[in-house]
Amino acid sequence: MVIVVGNPANTNCLTASKSAPSIPKENFSCLTRLDHNRAKSQIALKLGVTADDVKNVIIWGNHSSTQYPDVNHAKVKLQGKEVGVYEALKDDSWLKGEFITTVQQRGAAVIKARKLSSAMSAAKAISDHVRDIWFGTPEGEFVSMGVISDGNSYGIPDDLLYSFPVVIKNKTWKFVEGLPINDFSREKMDLTAKELAEEKETAFEFLSSA
């Protein structure tokens, strides 16, 4: 397994995979778990629960400010019952606005405030990512991971390193299939895919001229 953390993580990961064709491309992944954890934390803070009470948030796309944190399929445990996040929060304008921009720009905000990156949060996210690859995802839960887009059912072009919801079993990840995608999500997912396609083109032009 090869896990890429250094930015631009998705495109660096794709470049590494192309440069090592003897390693299966499914063995390459990049870290979007930090964004995933931040999305869980924002929901938890808003609802006054712990981040462990929130599951199945999704980070779609690039580990950049175009990423799309999606909670349409997320659940939260409230008073012992699992409830959809939209239903629990009853605040669609926050979920479609400030929540998304906060997660998208959290890294920059931390650097601005601390004059340092969020190294410990990243380290925690890397250990979460590796633990799930090694031990698998809990039953009924999925996580976000930047993986090769080939064969996905969400209309994302092949040959991009894109963050998807995945489940992991026996050290093998699989796309979570069949999640309904509304028009709002579609637009955000396509926007971040477009950015990744442009990054890929720029990187490959640079490599071919090097």
Query: d(Cα 106, Cα 100) in Å, to the nearest integer?
Result: 10
Half-sphere exposure of 1 (CA within 13 A, CB side): 16
In order of 9, 21, 202, 203, 204, the CA distances from 209 in angstroms are 21, 20, 11, 10, 9
Phi, psi torsion values for 89, nearest 5 degrees: -85, -35
3-state helix/strand/coil string of 28-96: EEECCHHHHHHHHHHHHHHHCCCHHHEECCEEEECCCCCCEEECCCCEEEECCEEEEHHHHHCCHHHHH
User: Active-site residue 63, yes or no?
Assistant: yes
Strands (E), 138-209: 143-148, 161-169, 172-175
Of 11, 48, 60, 62, residue with least CA distance to 203: 11
What is the DSSP track for 168-182?
A: EETTEEEEPP-----
Catalytic residue numbers read 63
